[in-house]
Every structure is written in C-alpha cells, then in structure tokens.
A = this chain, B = another copy of it.
Amino acid sequence: MNYGEKYSKLGNALEPSLIGQILKYASDPDAISFGGGVPDASTFPAKELADISRELILNESGYVLQYSSTEGDLGLRKEILNLLYRFYGIKGLTEENVLITIGSQQALDLIAKVFLDERSYYIIDDPAYLGALSAFNTRFSEFVAVPLLGDGINTDLLEEKLKILEKNGEIRKVKFIYVISNFHNPAGITFSPDRREKILEIAERYNFFIVEDDPYGALRFEGKKVDPIFKLGGQKRVVLLNTFSKVLCPGLRIGVVIGDKDLIKKLALAKEAAVLCSPALNQRLAAEYLKRYDLLEHLKPVINLYKRKKDIMLEALKKEFSNVEGVKWTKPEGGLFIWMTLPNGFDTMEMAEIAKKKKVFYVPGQAFRPSGERSNSLRLSFCLPPEEKIVKGVKRLKEVVEIYFNQKSNVLI
C-alpha cells in the first residue's frame, strides 16, 4: 500500500530540513563546515568515561542494563542540583524538580505535547533555535515571533503584540515564551539583566510562563555571568532546560528539565508514553563522572579552546569583511555561534549553492525563522573546525559573498 495515503496531518507536514540537504555535503574532507553546533570531540573526557562505563556494567549490571525510572536516575538528579547551586547559586530544589530527558530535544517535544494545541500561542525569538521550532511545529500552534536585538528580544514589540492579543480576547491562549538567554543559538547574543527582568515582568503581567533554555551557559569566555531568569522568577514562572551535550558530550543524550514538581510529574507522564525511560547506563556514566571529577574544572581548557576559535573567527571576519558595507556580525561572550548579517537583498539560502561549490558551509538564516521567511543572515559555528580551517573558511566565505554579490548586481542591472 501507499503509506502516504494514511499519513496524519503531522505525517504530511514532516519534511526533510533544508539544512540536512545543505550539510550532507559538509562531510567532504576538503569542505570547511561552520554548519553544525557539534562540539569538538577532543573535549570529551573519553578515558574517564571508558573506565567508569566498564566499572558500572560490571558492578551494577542489574541497574544500568535494566529498565529504570522515567524521571531519571536519582543520583544524577542530585548531581545536577549540586551543579546548579555551584554555578548559579540556585537553591531550594529537590530531585522532584528535575526530569532527565533524551537530550534537550526531548524536553522541547514534551513541553510541546503537554502545553500546545492547534489554537495555542507560544512566543519565540526570531531568529530562533531550530530544534525548538521543529518540536513546536509538530503541534500546529500559532506563534508570536519577536525579533532579537543585541541584548535580548525586543520587549517593546513583544508588549505591543501581546496588547493586540489581549484586545482580541486571545491572551489566555498564550502558553509560554521560549528563550535561550546565554550565547543564543543562532544569534550568539546574551540577554542583559534588564531584558531578563522585563521578560519576567511581562510574563507575570500577561500570565504565561517562560521556558529558559541554557545549553551554553557554562561556556562563558568573557564578561560577567548573568543570573538565569529561572533564578529571578522561580519555578512557579520559569522552566529551565539544560543538557550535557555541550559541556560533557552529546552522545549520552542527556537533557534536563528543572521546574515545578507537579509540572515535572506531568512531563514525566508524557515521557513515559514516548520512550518509557532513558538508558540507565548513560545516566549513571554522567552521574559518576560528576561525582569523581569536577565538571567546572574540566571545562576550563574547553572554554579556552572555544574562546581561541571564536577569536580566530572574529579576527578573520574583521580582516575579510570589515570594509564591506552592510555586513555585520555578533561578538559572543560564550557558546558556539556567530550570527552574520549581509546587506539587505542578500538571500543566504540562495547563496548556499555558491558556498557548496566553494566548499564552505554555514546554516542560512531562513532555517531559524519561525515564519520560514528568507533571510540575509547566516549562522557560523566555530566549535568544530581546526583553527587554520577557520581562517581558510572565512576567506572562502568572502569569495562566496563576492560571487553572489556580482551575480545579484547583474540581475539588478
């Protein structure tokens, strides 16, 4: 039979992402990819994890190879609370405030399931994290997209949009706002303390909650640590997402939701119906690593490595693009991404065809737009390529921009 005839609305809507198609060429050994947000594998504590894993399987096979609780390993949840306290001074939480998920992608999927219906609204930054868009899109909800400025979302515009919803009697359909407050993916910017407070104030006034995603917070290169919105607003207003993907390794697939304990219970029910439970081995591996080693110490050289790569990329961008009118880029204080904007009229999706030929890869801004509209921006990830390739890759990017500009000019003339 033709399965396509039987697809649900969602089944029909799921389509291969444009990025996948672009990035599949990035594995060419001559290619230089600024595409994926994939950590440098040299930062993984392989030796330590190898020894721990053998020990755990030998000594605790009845636990690590067995079904385990949907909420997650208790020891890991304790270690996470300990980290939150050490890193952000967040306290007053218990294990019941923590849910372990299959990467933070699953946290997004569970939140989408538990809160979003077709006639719901969520608020999202523009550009926004692609994984959040793909999870939320499965619910066919309405959304309010709010442009990002250099220090967070445009909260004035957000208020204007909310006032319209209020006037139309739709404000109670607004479920939550989703933000990445530190070293935004894809935009590289960090929300200022003022923006964080303002978002909290607006969320309280209009009665929706905040999903604060913080995968990169521990990867700060410079500048002052800013309190998470979760710390300001507490668990009754804010749900905090985290992950070990960028600070330990992505392969364990461990995401974390920190929030109100009744909410955690509800998300756990959704998780049970989706995957039953996370692999116990992976959770014990992370927990035992955290117990035996100091993750924040482990991160010091990792942060230095990414900072160096970031500096090299900023330097190269300055060299190649500083005298090209209308081109600008963000200067991240941490994380993995730089957001580059080309002159008006550029279409970075269209330009990707040229980039493919020149063997330099980036993610076109369009992929990050909640509306899916064309974009003159692009995301550059500096975490994976070796340092010399960063310089070379930015040179290629300059060529790509020039070729594209010349093509465009011809068309315009």
A interface with B by C-beta (< 8 Å): 1, 3-4, 6-11, 14-17, 36, 38-39, 41, 44, 46-47, 49-51, 53-58, 61-68, 102-103, 105-106, 109, 113-117, 120, 131, 134-135, 137-139, 175-176, 207-209, 236-237, 245, 249-253, 260, 262-263, 265-266, 269-270, 272-282
The residue in chain B whose Cβ has the minimal distance to the Cβ of A67 is B250
Q: Contact: B66 with A249, CB < 8 Å?
A: yes
- On whether A65 and B262 interact (CB within 8 A), knowing A9-B117, A47-B58, A109-B273, the answer reads no
User: What separation, in Å, do the CA atoms of A276 and B103 have in the docked complex?
Assistant: 8
How many Å lie between the Cα of A42 and that of B41 in the bound state?
A: 35
Distance in angstroms from A27 CB to nearest chain B CB is 11
- A386 CB to closest chain B CB (Å) equals 13
Q: Assess whether A279 is in contact with B276, with CB atoms less than 8 Å apart.
A: no
Q: List 14 A-B contacts (CB under 8 A).
A: A1-B207, A3-B263, A3-B266, A6-B176, A8-B116, A38-B66, A46-B57, A46-B65, A65-B251, A68-B251, A102-B274, A275-B275, A279-B279, A281-B282
A3 to chain B, nearest CB (A): 5
From known contacts A14-B269, A281-B282, A282-B282, infer whether A7 and B54 are also in contact, taking CB-CB under 8 Å: no
- Bound-complex Cα distance A56 to B51 (A): 11
Whether A57 and B50, one on each chain, are in contact in the complex, defined by CB atoms closer than 8 angstroms, is yes
Q: Are B209 and A6 in contact, CB atoms less than 8 angstroms apart?
A: yes
In Å, the complex CA distance between A40 and B176 comes to 44
Q: B109, A251: Cβ atoms under 8 Å?
A: no
| Nearest residue, chain B, Cβ from A55 | B50
Other than A16-B265, A66-B249, A274-B274, give 19 A-B pairs with Cβ distance below 8 A. A1-B208, A7-B114, A8-B115, A8-B139, A10-B114, A11-B115, A14-B270, A46-B58, A49-B57, A61-B249, A64-B251, A66-B250, A105-B275, A106-B275, A109-B275, A251-B280, A252-B279, A252-B281, A253-B277
Complex: A116 Cα to B6 Cα, angstroms: 9
* Contact between B53 and A273, CB atoms less than 8 A apart: no
- Chain B min CB distance to A397 (Å): 24
Total copies of this chain within the assembly: 2
**Which residues from B are CB-within-8-Å of A67?**
36, 38, 245, 250-251
Q: Nearest CB to that of A262 among chain B residues?
A: B3
Shortest Cβ gap from A204 to chain B (Å): 8
- The secondary-structure label for the interface of chain A is helix
Q: Are B46 and A274 in contact (CB-based, < 8 A)?
A: no
| A279: chain B residues within 8 A (beta carbon) | 251-253, 279, 282
Residues of B with C-beta under 8 A to A207: 1
Closest to A16 in B: B269
Cα–Cα distance between A134 and B271 once the two chains are bound (Å):
11
Q: Give A285 to B249 CA distance when docked, in angstroms.
A: 17
Q: How far is the CA of A282 from the CA of B161 in the complex (A)?
A: 46
Please state if B66 and A41 are interface contacts (CB–CB under 8 Å): yes
> In the assembly, what is the distance between CA of A173 and CA of B345, in Å?
46
Question: Distance in Å from the Cβ of A8 to the closest Cβ of chain B?
Answer: 5
Closest partner residue, chain B, to A134 (CB atom)? B273
**A10-B4 Cα distance, complex, nearest whole Å:** 25
Answer whether A44 and B16 are a contact pair too, CB < 8 Å, given A50-B54, A237-B1.
no
Cα–Cα, bound, A328→B350 (Å) = 69
Residues of B within 8 A of A262 (CB): 3-4
Please give, as numbers and ranges, the residues of chain B lying within 8 Å of A41 by CB-CB distance.
61-62, 65-66
Q: Could you tell me the distance between the alpha carbons of A54 and B280 in the complex, rounded to whole angstroms?
A: 16
Interface contact B272-A11, CB-CB below 8 Å: no
Asked if B11 and A114 sit within 8 Å, CB to CB, the answer is yes
Taking the closest CB of chain B, its distance from the CB of A242, in whole angstroms, is: 15
Q: Which residue of B lies closest to A280 (CB)?
A: B251
Contacts of A58 in B (CB 8 A): 46-47, 50
